[in-house]
Amino acid sequence: MFSERIRLLRGEKKLTQTAVAAKIGLSGRGYQDLELGATPRGDTLLAIAEFYDVSIDWLMGRTDKREVNR
């Protein structure tokens, strides 16, 4: 679920894997691995959620609500 959702978000923003990786502090290969199904570390998960402005629960498939509760 996570890998599909980050691919979806990246596609919606028309960004490359390299561009997103640079913004969140990962190597290009590290981000590619996430899109291929690797499990993210906590700090990486938080960085991705903040970058895309979505909830961690949505990224992980626990809810269909993208919005962050603030």
Q: Would you give per-residue pLDDT tens digits along the chain (70 residues)?
A: 999 999 999 999 999 999 999 999 999 999 999 999 999 999 999 999 999 999 999 999 998 888 887 6
Q: How far is Cα 11 from Cα 69, in angstroms, rounded to an integer?
A: 24
Written as six digits, the tokens of 54 are 């979505």
Predicted local confidence at residue 69, as pLDDT: 72
Predicted local confidence at residue 32, as pLDDT: 96
Question: For 31-57, b where at least 16 C-beta lie within 10 A, e where not — what string?
Answer: beebbeeeebeeebbebbbebbebbbe
State the amino acid at position 49 in one-letter form. A
